[in-house]
C-alpha cells in the first residue's frame, strides 16, 4: 500500500437493577459491578479469577488453523449492515445511574479502582492508568472501559468529592504507583490517560520519571471547564447559563447538573484553584517531557480552545502526535462518536514491549470498527461495483475469491492503480467474503515524517494502520511471512501509484528480485493479480511532467518529497524516481473496477532451489509476467461486460434490488 495522497480509505454497560428499585440502589449496584479497589486485588478469589482469565486467553489464542468452511461460517465481517453499535449506554443513562453514587461517595482518600466489566486481557497486556478530570470520578472511562479492558490492565484513580488532597500529593501518589509497577515489569510500557486535571498530573509524572517507559494519551489538555465552573462557582445553576454556552454545553448539561450537585461551592472553588496550580506546574515542566504522547483534541470545543492548546503542546513535546476530532465538543471521552481504543490503534500507539512491533502488536479491527470503515467507503463500492475473479487449483477462473488460499503465508503481488484507487474495495471484500485480513506493506510516509511541512498529517492514514498496514522494511516483511499472514505487496510503489499520462497499467518494478527468496524461505504462496478501472473513473490531465514545468509547483513537489522517507535510493531507472506529487484528475461517469487473481505460485517445495539468485530472479520475472497477463485479460474481457457503465448497473439494481450482485462478462 503506497501512501500517495488523499485516499478512498478515508477515512458491557453498567449493570442496572430491575424496575421498581430506587436510583440509589441502581447506582450502588452499578458501582459494585463496575470497580474493585486495587487493595483487594491480592485476594485468593481475585487470583483465581486472573488464572481463569489467563486460561481463557490462552485457549482463545490456540484456536487457529480453521478449515475454509469454518472460516466462512464464523466470519464476523461478512454482513457489515448487521453489526451493532458497541458504545453501550447513552450519556444520560450513565449520568442518571451515577448521580447518587457521585454525591454519596464523598469520603476517604484517593485510591485506585479497576473496572470489573472489562474484557479478559492477555497476561502481558500493558498497564493503563486513567487519571480523571476535576470530577474525580473518572466519568470519561465509562464509555470505554469494556473495550480498553481487552487490551490493557486498567486502574482508574478515584478522588472522592470532598477530598482536598493537593496537586503535589496527587502527583506523588500516582508516581509511587508508576515506580512500583515499573519495578515489577520494567519491559512493559505504562499508559497514562488523562483529561484536564489528569493530563496535568500525567505531564508532571513524565517530567519527573524520564527513565520509565510512559505513553501519554491526553484529551483536550489545558484549563478545562474554566467557563462553566466559574459560572457555577458564582452561584449560577447550569440551566441558567446554558443559553450562554452554545450547543457544546447544551449537549452536556446533564454533566454540569451532576457536578453542581456533587461539588459544594467551596469545594469547587478549591478544585479550581488546584487546577490553576496544576496547569502552571505542568507548563513549567514541559521541557523535561520526552515521552511518547498522543494529543486528542476537539474541533468544536466551545469551552476551551483545545486545538490551539494541542498545537502548542505538539510543538513543545518531541515525541508527540496529534489527532483532531472535527465534530466533537469539549467532553471528548463522553461523546458517542468517539472511541478511545480506535484512536490508539489508528495512531499505532499500542505496544506491549519497549518498542512497537507492527506485526505482533497489531490488533485487528473489531466488527464495529470495520463497519464504520465499510460505511465510509460504501459509496466507492456502489459506484465501481467491483468484479473480483480468482483461479482455482485446476486453473478454472471463477467469480469471487474461492481460489484464494486459506492458509498463510500468502503474498499478493500486483499492480498499483493511480492513487491506490483499488485498495478500499480490495481489502474490504477480502474480509467480508473470506475473513482474510490483507496486511499491506506500505510506504513509510504513512507512519512517520522526515520533517514537518505540507504533507497530509499522519492522522489521514489512521484507517490504513487500523486495517493492518505496516511500513515497508525487510524485518517487517520477515515478520509477516513468519507469522503466516496474508501480505499485500506493490513492487511498483510510489512510482506506479503516481504514474504519468499514458502510463496506466504499466508496471514499474525494480530490475532485481525483492521478494521471491524471502517468500520461499517460509514456503509462502505467491498470488499475482491485476486490476483495471482507473481510466473508467477519471482522466489524468495534469501530471508530474506538467507540474515540473511550473516553477512554483516544482518547488512544491521538492518540498513534499523532502518530507518523506526516501526509498530505493540505490535503484536505477524510473522506479528510483520517488518524487511525491498530487495528480490532477478529471472525474468521469464511473465505470467499473475489475480484479483478477491468478493461480497461486508455490514456493514451499523450492526453498533450496530459490536460494540461488538466478533461479529466484526467474520466478520474479514469471510473477511479473503473470501480473501483466492478468491486466491484459481484464482489459480485454471488460469490453464484453454489458454492465461496465454506471447507468446500466443502476437500471439492473432498480429492478433486482440495490443489494443484488450485478452480473458481468461470461467466464
Phi, psi at 271, each rounded to 5°: -65, -35
| Confidence grade of residue 397 (pLDDT, cut at 50, 70, 90) | very high
Q: Same structural domain for residues 515 and 388? A: yes
For residue 89, what pLDDT is reported? 56
Convert the pLDDT of each residue in 81-99 to its tens digit: 888 877 555 556 555 555 5
Q: Same structural domain for residues 301 and 388? A: no
CA distance to 3, 487, 573, 576, 607, per residue, from 569 (Å): 18, 24, 11, 6, 29
Does residue 480 surpass a pLDDT of 50? yes
Q: Same structural domain for residues 343 and 417? A: no
Q: Same structural domain for residues 455 and 307? A: no
Q: How far apart are CA 121 and CA 363, in angstroms?
A: 12
Q: Same structural domain for residues 192 and 317? A: yes
Does residue 132 surpass a pLDDT of 60? yes
Q: Same structural domain for residues 408 and 341? A: no
For residue 57, what pLDDT is reported? 41
What mean pLDDT do residues 301-310 have? 70
In a domain, 6, yes or no: no
In a domain, 469, yes or no: yes
Which residue would you say has higher pLDDT here, 249 or 478?
478
For residue 362, what pLDDT is reported? 97
Using the structure block, give the residue that is written with the C-alpha cell 520474479: 620
In a domain, 59, yes or no: no
Report the mean per-residue pLDDT for the chain.
82
For residue 236, what pLDDT is reported? 44
| Confidence grade of residue 103 (pLDDT, cut at 50, 70, 90) | low
**Which one of 347, 381, 409 terminates a domain?**
347
Q: Same structural domain for residues 227 and 294? A: yes
Residue 292: CA count within 13 A, CB half-sphere: 16
| Cell numbers placing 184 | 515489577
Query: Distance of alpha carbon 327 from its chain centroid, rounded?
Result: 18
**Which one of 313, 347, 381 terminates a domain?**
347
| Cell numbers placing 596 | 483478477
Convert the pLDDT of each residue in 211-221 to its tens digit: 999 999 998 77
Does residue 34 surpass a pLDDT of 80? no
For residue 91, what pLDDT is reported? 57
For residue 184, what pLDDT is reported? 94
In a domain, 202, yes or no: yes
Q: Same structural domain for residues 395 and 281? A: no
Q: Same structural domain for residues 292 and 371? A: no
Convert the pLDDT of each residue in 233-273 to its tens digit: 444 444 443 443 444 444 445 555 555 556 667 777 787 78
Does residue 575 surpass a pLDDT of 90? no
Convert the pLDDT of each residue in 426-460 to its tens digit: 999 999 999 999 999 999 999 998 888 888 889 99
| Confidence grade of residue 46 (pLDDT, cut at 50, 70, 90) | very low
Strand runs labelled E in 386-522: 387-391, 397-399, 410-414, 438-442, 470-471, 486-489
In a domain, 45, yes or no: no
Q: What is the CATH classification number for the domain harbouring 494?
A: 3.40.1130
Structural domain total, the chain: 2
Q: Same structural domain for residues 288 and 196? A: yes
| Confidence grade of residue 67 (pLDDT, cut at 50, 70, 90) | very low
Q: Same structural domain for residues 314 and 397? A: no
| Confidence grade of residue 335 (pLDDT, cut at 50, 70, 90) | confident
Report whether the peptide linkage leading into residue 33 is cis, meaning its omega lies within 30 degrees of zero.
no
What mean pLDDT do residues 273-288 have? 88
DSSP 60-124: HHT-----HHHHHHT-TTS-GGGPPP---S-HHHHHHHHHHHHHH---S--EEEEESSSPPPPTT
DSSP 390: E
Q: What is the CATH classification number for the domain harbouring 206?
A: 3.40.50.1820
Convert the pLDDT of each residue in 507-536 to its tens digit: 999 988 889 999 999 999 999 999 999 999
For residue 592, what pLDDT is reported? 96
In a domain, 30, yes or no: no
**Which one of 302, 318, 347 terminates a domain?**
347
Spatial strand order of the sheet with 190-195 comes to 35-37, 111-115, 153-158, 127-131, 190-195, 214-219, 292-298, 320-325
Q: Determine the structural domain holding residue 619 and report its residue range.
A: 367-539+588-656
| Confidence grade of residue 350 (pLDDT, cut at 50, 70, 90) | very high
For residue 123, what pLDDT is reported? 82
For residue 160, what pLDDT is reported? 84
In a domain, 200, yes or no: yes
Does residue 173 surpass a pLDDT of 80? yes
In a domain, 100, yes or no: yes
Q: Same structural domain for residues 467 and 332? A: no
**Among 165-169, 217-221, 486-490, 649-653, the least confident range:** 217-221
For residue 202, what pLDDT is reported? 96
Strand runs labelled E in 486-630: 486-489, 525-532, 538-542, 584-587, 594-597
Does residue 537 surpass a pLDDT of 50? yes
Amino acid at each position: 500500500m503506497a501512501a500517495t495522497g488523499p485516499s478512498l480509505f478515508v477515512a458491557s454497560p453498567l449493570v442496572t437493577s430491575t424496575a421498581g428499585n430506587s436510583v440509589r440502589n441502581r447506582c450502588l449496584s452499578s458501582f459494585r459491578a463496575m470497580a474493585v479497589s486495587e487493595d483487594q486485588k491480592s485476594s485468593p478469589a481475585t487470583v483465581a479469577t486472573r488464572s481463569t482469565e489467563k486460561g481463557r486467553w490462552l485457549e482463545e489464542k490456540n484456536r487457529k488453523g480453521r478449515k475454509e468452511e469454518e472460516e466462512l461460517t464464523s466470519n464476523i465481517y461478512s454482513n457489515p449492515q448487521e453489526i451493532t453499535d458497541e458504545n453501550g449506554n447513552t450519556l444520560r443513562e450513565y449520568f442518571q445511574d451515577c448521580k447518587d453514587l457521585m454525591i454519596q461517595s464523598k469520603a476517604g482518600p484517593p485510591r485506585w479502582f479497576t473496572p470489573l466489566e472489562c474484557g479478559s486481557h492477555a497476561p502481558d497486556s500493558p498497564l493503563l492508568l486513567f487519571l480523571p478530570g476535576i470530577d474525580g470520578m473518572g466519568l470519561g472511562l465509562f464509555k470505554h472501559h469494556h473495550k480498553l479492558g481487552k487490551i490493557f490492565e486498567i486502574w482508574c484513580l478515584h478522588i472522592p468529592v470532598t477530598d482536598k488532597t493537593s496537586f503535589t500529593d496527587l502527583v506523588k501518589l500516582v508516581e509511587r504507583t508508576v515506580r512500583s509497577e515499573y519495578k515489577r515489569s520494567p519491559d512493559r510500557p505504562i499508559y497514562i490517560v488523562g483529561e484536564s486535571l489528569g493530563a496535568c498530573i500525567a505531564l508532571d509524572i513524565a517530567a519527573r520519571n524520564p527513565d520509565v517507559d510512559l505513553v501519554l494519551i491526553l484529551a483536550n489538555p489545558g484549563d478545562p471547564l474554566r467557563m462553566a465552573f466559574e459560572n457555577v462557582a458564582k452561584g449560577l445553576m447550569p440551566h441558567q447559563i446554558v443559553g450562554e454556552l452554545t450547543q457544546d454545553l447544551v449537549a452536556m448539561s446533564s454533566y454540569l447538573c451532576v457536578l453542581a450537585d456533587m461539588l459544594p461551592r467551596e469545594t469547587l472553588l478549591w478544585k479550581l484553584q488546584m487546577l490553576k496550580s496544576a496547569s502552571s506546574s505542568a507548563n513549567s515542566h514541559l521541557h523535561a517531557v520526552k515521552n511518547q504522547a498522543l494529543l486528542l483534541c476537539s474541533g468544536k470545543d466551545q469551552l476551551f480552545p483545545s486545538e490551539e492548546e494541542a498545537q502548542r503542546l505538539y510543538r513543545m513535546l518531541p515525541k508527540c502526535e496529534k489527532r483532531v476530532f472535527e465534530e466533537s465538543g469539549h467532553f471528548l471521552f463522553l461523546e458517542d462518536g468517539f472511541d478511545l481504543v480506535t484512536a490508539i490503534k489508528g495512531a499505532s500507539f499500542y505496544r506491549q514491549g519497549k518498542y512497537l512491533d507492527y506485526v505482533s502488536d497489531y490488533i485487528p479491527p473489531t466488527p464495529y470498527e470495520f463497519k464504520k470503515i465499510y460505511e465510509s467507503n460504501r459509496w466507492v463500492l456502489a459506484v465501481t461495483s467491483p468484479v473480483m475473479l480468482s483461479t482455482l487449483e485446476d486453473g478454472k477462473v471463477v467469480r469471487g475469491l474461492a481460489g484464494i488460499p486459506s492458509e498463510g503465508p500468502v503474498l499478493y503481488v500486483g499492480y498499483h492503480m493511480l492513487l491506490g484507487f483499488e485498495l478500499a474495495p480490495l481489502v474490504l471484500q477480502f474480509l467480508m467474503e473470506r475473513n482474510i485480513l490483507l496486511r499491506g506493506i506500505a510506504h513509510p510516509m504513512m507512519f512517520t515524517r522526515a520533517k514537518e511541512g505540507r504533507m497530509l498529517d499522519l492522522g489521514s492514514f489512521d484507517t490504513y494502520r487500523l486495517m493492518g498496514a505496516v511500513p515497508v522494511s525487510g524485518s517487517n516483511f520477515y515478520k509477516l511471512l513468519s507469522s503466516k499472514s496474508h501480505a499485500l505487496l506493490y513492487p511498483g510503489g510510489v512510482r506506479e501509484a503516481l504514474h504519468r499520462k499514458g502510463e496506466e497499467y504499466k508496471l514499474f518494478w525494480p530490475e532485481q528480485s525483492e521478494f521471491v527468496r524471502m517468500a520461499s524461505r517460509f514456503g509462502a504462496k505467491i498470488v499475482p493479480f491485476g486490476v483495471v478501472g482507473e481510466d473508467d473513473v477519471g482522466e489524468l490531465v495534469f501530471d508530474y511532467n506538467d507540474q515540473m514545468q511550473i516553477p512554483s509547483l516544482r518547488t512544491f513537489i521538492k518540498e513534499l518529497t523532502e518530507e518523506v522517507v526516501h526509498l530505493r535510493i540505490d535503484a536505477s531507472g524510473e522506479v528510483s524516481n520517488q518524487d511525491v506529487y498530487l495528480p490532477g484528475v478529471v472525474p468521469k461517469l464511473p465505470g467499473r473496477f475489475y480484479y483478477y487473481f491468478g493461480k497461486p505460485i508455490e514456493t514451499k517445495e523450492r526453498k533450496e532451489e530459490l536460494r540461488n539468485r538466478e533461479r529466484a530472479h526467474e520466478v520474479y520475472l514469471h510473477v511479473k509476467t503473470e501480473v501483466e497477463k492478468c491486466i491484459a485479460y481484464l482489459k480485454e474481457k471488460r469490453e464484453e461486460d454489458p454492465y461496465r457503465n454506471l447507468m446500466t448497473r443502476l437500471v439492473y439494481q432498480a429492478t433486482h434490488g440495490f443489494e443484488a450482485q450485478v452480473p458481468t462478462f461470461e467466464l
